[in-house]
Structure 1
Amino acid sequence: MTLLSCSYVPGMYVEDHSIKVPLDWKGKTPGQGFAGPSISLFYRVVSAPEHVHDDLPLLVFLQGGPGGAGPRPLNRSGEPWIDKALNHFRLVLPDQRGTGRSSCIDSHVMGRFETARDQADHLKHFLADSIVRDFEHLRLTEFAGRQWVTLGQSFGGFLTLTYLSFFPQGVQAAFTTGGIPHVPASAQVLYEHTFPRMVSKCGQYYERYPQDKKRVAAVADFLLENPGRVRLPNGDPLTVERLQSLGSDFGMKAGFERAHWLFDQAFVGGDGSPEAADEQVEEGLELSDSFLASFMAATSSTPLYWPLQEFIYADGELDEPIAWAAQQVRGRHPEFAIDFRPLNFTGEATFPWMFEEERALRPFRGAMDLLMQDTHFGRIYDEDQLARNEVPLQSAVYFDDMYVDAGLQLDTLAHIGHSHYWTTNQYEHDGIHGGDVFGRLLEEARDRGDLEGLF
């Protein structure tokens, strides 16, 4: 292994490693040498201090996203799944290509390309087909071909099915939490399920905090009446569409509360109520600096999250281009209009305005226009292989999942061999971070005998 450094984080021994992988996997095979342009694949190996020298099974964590780097744990007890896993496994925490320390892509990198076509072609190398080949290459070259267990959270579950489709021999058992995609893949089908669910989520939010109907409407009306006037600290314009994007957090634990307390400090003057603020400030209603700073932080994302969002549903040769699927579905739902009241927030969805208004995303705009009309992508699923799958797959399906529709997840699982699932409404999409979700999945798989070869 290429060891870069090692250290102790409270309760954990951590090694940092990096290897080279092909930029383009076309014509290349994981585990073999290669020629041509390469990128870095960074990963961490984490073990409990008492198990540093023990020969434990390997568990590789497939991070959510797209565009999400591997976790940077602060201590062992901060992540319940890590605490549980370290009792039984040595953890491998890779940064997926283009994220974290794996040849990260951001606005600066995109600005180096001469044309939008070059940008688009480059971005197509950072989807699931390449990510999984990186991991299989890592397993074969740095872990002597030893099988490992996978744990996929959210988009990591999508990667799990790609792994099981093309390299099942590398996986001893697989776990997913909130992350079984619908197969066959379709961004349109997903959004047709999630936009109505978002209306329901917004209704739940206003039911919990009825006073926010007026507060949110006051902010939205102010923005409509003063186009271009309000700027976030980084210079981005604050528009109603950007305001609505705050709802992308509604499917996480305490997402409603984060939004509620954000709007609680929205206005300057008086006691902070819209009426008092309007009366106290001579120029009329004003949005507070603290609101604008907090809002900017709440709606910022990792660089590849929005650019790649719809292309995680692009599987091979498409019958038609994706063509801004979320925007198409939104256009069929007038309840998401910017002047509809109470204002409905949008969920996990990419829109064209993001690449015009957000400074960090503007360099991606030319590539996005090309990719949205593209129909040629790498294969990410093999339905026949999934049907005859023999790798034990244990999934947590969150019944109220706002991002990955539970009904679509169950439909897919019904067609995957050797799959089992636990459906619950006890957790939101991020349940793995706040409860013993992984512990339950692990125990169910163990009691069923699926982990007999491990322990």
Structure 2
Amino acid sequence: MSVSSKHPNATGSKSTLPQMIAEKLTFTLPLDYQDAAKGEINVFARTLVHKDKQHLELPWLVYFQGGPGFAAQRPVSHSGWIKRALTEYRVLLLDQRGTGLSTPVNATSLAHLDDAGKADYLSHFRADNIIRDAEAIRAILSPDTPWTILGQSFGGFCVLRYLSVAAHGLKEAFITGGIPPLGRSADEVYRATYKRVLQKNRDFHQRFTDAAPLLADLHRYLLEHPVLLPPGQQLTPQMLQLLGIHLGMEDGPESVYYLLEQALQFTPSGNRINPLFVERFAQMLDYNTNPLFAVLHEAIYCEQQASNWAAHRIRAEYPQFDAAPPAPLLLTGEMIFPWMFDCFEHLKPLKGCAELLAAKTDWPPLYDPAALANNTVPVAAAIYSEDMFVEMDFSLETAKQVANLKYWLTSEYEHNGIRMDGERIFDRLIAINRGACLR
């Protein structure tokens, strides 16, 4: 079966990858499903099928990427969760609206709108419309057959939205590191995650005993010398702290440490910033390249209430993060702060709309507790006990409220476990969903 033969917007472009055939699809869909006058956007997806099964009628597995604001992974090898999936599925890698090859969202694409227009436009890029897009795509690719979905991190939030409003479109669902809190405010979420970040800092300094002095030296240097990052923005100590987002990833602490130990060059005339550090630091943060992540991150927790820059406000309860030298500089985690829209060049034009979105009080509900309590779709979830991004206690709390959800609680993996050992993790979740005995 050729997907392009079933879909008029298929490009017909195919790629041969190791053991896989990939095909590109583009769907033209409403920006606002309640108001067609607001126009249309394109949503891109890439199909994958094992080269030996490309002519078979296979069930679909749709992958929801973490984020918000990040495109689906670009496959390069027949490995990980994709390898396991292709033994029985045809995979759809969805570039959620505004990401990847879907109609882009960035300062340039929104430049024709004023702040209010930008805020209104971006209000349509949460999980509710991502799932409306998915159902519109299913009506084309699999109109008579429910499909299977897999959500990583924010993708798991999309899974619970799907179960809340369109469970009829699902055969089964899988979640890795992404069970959202139900009935919890953004304030509660960040209060919990700051505690996790503090522990990750302690773990980091126990593992790398010279990390504290390396950070202290770099902190002092930044206070005394301007350091410019591409594309011309000044690196501040607050921006340096954002590296902490990597402390919650497999291999993340190592990446941060190896970057820090190369930050300063010792010369006869004193310390100098290492150009290598400047380039690699910029590459390790996604705020310039993925603005949706910054603009909408707190909104994923909002239902009929404003976030009001929750991470920024709750940070005041943890003064350890604002200590001055010679106290050690602590790194922050997955938090968005209003000052970031004054620092990152490609976020600056979005400052006004970000302020409006942070103050927005009429965010529609994302989840239906009654529908989740009566869910009949088999759901298997991996919950990581040490997860810095998604609080374990809140995940377990939600799991009790979703019927037919089984979970695997493990300390073996960090938040990005699906990237590191995806074949094993996905295989285990499939076994859980299908009642297989596990050792």
Which TM-score applies when normalising by structure 1? 0.91
Shift of 1:230: 1.1
> Once the 2 structures are TM-superposed, how far is the Cα of residue 185 of structure 1 from its aligned partner?
4.0
1:260 equivalenced with 2:257 (yes/no): yes
- CA displacement at 1:112 relative to structure 2: 2.3
- Measured at CA, do residues 189 and 36 of structure 1 come closer, stay the same or move farther in structure 2, by a change above 3 Å? closer
Deviations 1:104-141 (A, max 9, x none): 1012112221x100110010011111111000111012
Q: Within 1, Cα distance between the matches of 2:216 and 2:144?
A: 57
SS in 1 for 2:21: strand
Shift in Å, 1:303:
2.4
Once the two structures are superposed, what CA deviation does each residue of 1:13-71 show, in whole Å capped at 9, x if it has no partner? 011011111011126xxxxxx66511001111110000101111110001100001111
Q: Select which of 332, 351, 367 maps to 1:346.
A: 332
For residues 386 and 137 of structure 1, the distance between their equivalents in structure 2, rounded to whole angstroms, comes to 22
The CA deviation at 1:197 is 1.1
- 5+ long unaligned stretches in structure 1: 28-33, 269-276, 450-455
Counterparts of 1:441 and 1:143, CA distance in 2: 23
Secondary structure at the aligned position of 1:161 is classed as helix
Q: CA deviation at 1:407?
A: 0.6
1: CA distance between counterparts of 2:286 and 2:154?
Answer: 19
Match of 1:453 in 2: none
User: Does the 8 Å contact 1:395/1:441 carry over to 2?
Assistant: yes
1:57 aligns with 2:59: yes
2:366 & 2:52 partners in 1: Cα distance?
39
Q: Secondary structure at the match of 1:427?
A: coil
Q: Aligned-pair distance for 1:3?
A: 1.5
Compute the displacement of 1:312 (Å).
Answer: 0.7
Q: Distance in 1 between matches of 2:117 and 2:294?
A: 19
CA distance in 2, matches of 1:281, 1:323: 48
Instruction: State how far apart, in whole Å, the 1-side matches of 2:276 and 2:144 are.
Output: 52
Structure 1 residue 94 corresponds to structure 2 residue 71? no
Structure-2 separation of matches of 1:197 and 1:167: 34
Question: In structure 2, what is the Cα distance between the partners aligned to 1:251 and 1:25?
Answer: 36
| C-alpha deviation, 1:359, in angstroms | 0.3
CA distance in 2, matches of 1:380, 1:250: 29
Cα pair 1:98 1:126 within 8 Å, conserved: yes
Deviations 1:343-374 (A, max 9, x none): 11000000011100100111110001111111
Q: Percent identity, please.
A: 37
Deviations 1:234-288 (A, max 9, x none): 21110000000000011110111001110121112xxxxxxxx2xx342x32111
Residue 335 of structure 1 corresponds to: 320
Q: 5+ residue gaps in structure 2?
A: 1-6
Of 223, 232, 254, the match for 1:235: 232
Q: Give, in angstroms, the shift of residue 377 of structure 1.
A: 1.5
1:422 partner amino acid:
W
Q: CA separation in 2, counterparts of 1:392 and 1:246? A: 37
Q: Which amino acid aligns with 1:14?
A: A
Partners of 2:412 and 2:127 in 1: CA distance: 30
State how far apart, in whole Å, the 2-side matches of 1:19 and 1:292 are.
Answer: 39
Report the residue type matching 1:244 in the other structure: Q
Q: CA deviation at 1:233?
A: 2.9
Shifted more, 88-97 versus 336-345: the winner is 336-345
Match of 2:407 in 1: 421
Displacement, 1:300? 2.8
The residue correspondences of 1:159-308 to structure 2 (distance < 5 A) are 159-226=158-225, 229-268=226-265, 277=266, 280-282=267-269, 284-301=270-287, 302-308=290-296
CA distance in 1 between partners of 2:420 and 2:344 (Å):
31
Q: Which amino acid aligns with 2:420?
A: G
In structure 1, the partner of 2:392 is 406
The one-letter amino acid paired with 1:348 is E
Decide whether the 8 Å contact of 1:392 with 1:419 is kept in 2: yes
Residues 145, 170 of structure 1: 8 Å contact kept: no
SS at 1:107's partner residue?
A: coil
Cα RMSD after superposing both structures: 1.4
Where does residue 274 of structure 1 map in the other structure?
Answer: none
Match of residue 440 from structure 1: 428
Find the aligned partners of 2:206 and 2:180 in 1 and give their Cα distance.
30
Amino acid corresponding to residue 352 of structure 2 in structure 1: G
- Measured in 1, the distance between the counterparts of 2:182 and 2:383 equals 16
The code of the aligned residue for 1:429 comes to H
Give the counterpart letter for 2:387 in structure 1.
Answer: D
Give the partner amino acid of 2:63: F
Distance 2:204 2:350 in 1: 33
Aligned counterpart, 2:3: none
TM-score (norm 2): 0.94
Match of 1:23 in 2: 31
Deviations 1:368-416 (A, max 9, x none): 1111111011221001111111111100000000000011000000011
Partners of 2:81 and 2:425 within 8 A in 1 = yes
Asked whether the equivalents of residues 406 and 432 of structure 2 are also in contact (C-alpha less than 8 Å), the reply is no
2:364 alignment partner in structure 1? 378
CA shift, 1:304, in A, is: 1.1
Aligned residues of 1:57 and 1:148 also touching (Cα < 8 A):
yes
Equivalent AA in structure 1 for residue 157 of structure 2: F
Q: 1:21, 1:39 within 8 Å by CA — same for their partners in 2? A: yes
Q: Distance in 2 between matches of 1:265 and 1:58?
A: 46
Q: SS of the counterpart of 1:81?
A: helix
Tell me the number of residue pairs that the alignment of Structure 1 and Structure 2 aligns.
424
